[in-house]
Amino acid sequence: MTVTRPVVIILVNWNNEPDTAECLESCRKLCYPEFSMIVVDNGSADGSGERLRQRFPDVEVIETGRNLGFAGGNNIGIRRALETGADYIWLLNNDTVVDRCALSALVEVAEQDRTVGMAGSKVLCFDVPGRIWYAGGLIDDHAPYRCSHRGVSEEDVGQYDDPSETGYVTGCSLLVRRNVIEQIGQLDEGMFLYFEDTDWGVRARKAGWRLIYAPRSLVLHKVSVSMGGMDSPRMFYYLARNLLYFIRKNYPRVIVRAFGFDLFQHVLVMAKKGRWAAAGWAFRGIVDFLRGRTGPL
């Protein structure tokens, strides 16, 4: 790559210092020549923010004092990154480990076409070598309530090794151009957690930006560590509530179908299978959406 632009990497930490430290160590090995790192400590109660500051003196640590969610925590970092003059900002989950060329591959894709507003990595599962977690985002504009990660749970045998346009970029590894933020704004803090990245991507596409999946950028993800695993009740709450919020905001004409023919039926299926906790929290999310509740629980 012949062009170098200043990039700020943003990680949000919340009571999981070991994962954040491992991610930072992997970022230190990046081959990209011009980047800095910000950790937003999102109200950790275990002193991890100060320990990260001492262990990584080259990293700026911003302590929020309370949990602002994925959206709010990243927005704190985004505002600081813009102040420092970053041309690109790389949102990176703190429970990831990155390949040394991950950032270079993202910037290269963006620099090849000035209409590329966001670029995302191929994300593989950390604990299951070769299993895909994200290889692009699928959104059917006629049924956007069924948006999903392309290739999820498949073995990576090169079937998604070509760069391609994508419906959204997961916030697990999301490179965004400064101009995009200046045009469409930051992440929606009302969502707090989940679908804020999907919403951001859709807003960028509506503003005329292209979103690109860059498979040469490789990231390993410890899936849902920060939420207590894939069956965390809170996860189902935010997924249900924010899916409806996302649909109403971006595809209001299909909100009735999203509610009646997809999400509510999904909750009933979970209940019939005995997944009472998940069904209960998802139902609570639906109720809170109807009540107009946003932000944290």
Question: pLDDT by residue for the chain (297 residues), tens digit each?
Answer: 457 899 999 999 998 899 999 999 999 999 999 999 999 999 998 899 999 999 999 999 999 999 999 999 999 999 999 999 999 999 999 999 999 999 999 999 999 999 999 999 999 999 998 999 999 999 987 888 888 999 999 999 999 999 999 999 999 999 999 999 999 999 999 999 999 999 999 999 999 999 999 999 999 999 864 444 455 778 889 998 999 999 999 999 988 887 766 776 677 767 767 778 888 888 899 899 999 999 998
66 within a domain of the structure (yes/no): yes
Question: Could you tell me if 181 and 263 lie in one domain?
Answer: no
Write phi, then psi, for 35 (nearest 5 degrees): -150, 155
**Domain termination site, one of 174, 195, 226:** 226
What pLDDT does 13 receive?
94
Alpha-carbon distance of 99 to 113, in angstroms, equals: 23
β-pair partners for 60: 38
Question: Could you tell me if 172 and 266 lie in one domain?
Answer: no
Question: Could you tell me if 242 and 143 lie in one domain?
Answer: no
Alpha-carbon distance of 102 to 106, in angstroms, equals: 7
What pLDDT does 275 receive?
77
Q: How many residues does the structure list for the chain?
A: 297
**How do strand 7-13 and strand 88-92 relate by DSSP bridges?**
parallel
145 within a domain of the structure (yes/no): yes
Question: Could you tell me if 241 and 198 lie in one domain?
Answer: no
What pLDDT does 229 receive?
47
CB atoms within 10 A of CB 34: 13
Give the chain's radius of gyration (CA, Å): 18
Longest dimension (CA), the chain: 57
Alpha-carbon distance of 163 to 172, in angstroms, equals: 18
> What are the residues whose beta carbons fall under 8 Å from the beta carbon of 17, sequence distance 6 or more?
44, 46, 48, 51, 52
SS3 readout for 36-48: EEEEEECCCCCCH
> What are the residues whose beta carbons fall under 8 Å from the beta carbon of 18, sequence distance 6 or more?
none
What pLDDT does 125 receive?
96
160 and 150 Cβ atoms separated by less than 8 Å: yes
142 within a domain of the structure (yes/no): yes
What pLDDT does 183 receive?
98
104 within a domain of the structure (yes/no): yes
Number of domains in the chain: 2
**Domain termination site, one of 201, 226, 251:** 226
Question: Could you tell me if 249 and 149 lie in one domain?
Answer: no
120 and 88 Cβ atoms separated by less than 8 Å: no
Which amino acid is present at 282? A
Question: Could you tell me if 117 and 183 lie in one domain?
Answer: yes
Question: Could you tell me if 63 and 201 lie in one domain?
Answer: yes
**Domain termination site, one of 181, 209, 226:** 226
List the structure tokens of 185. 């704004």
* Cα separations in angstroms, 186 against 47, 71, 77, 277, 280: 28, 8, 11, 33, 31
The domain of 90 spans: 7-226
2 within a domain of the structure (yes/no): no
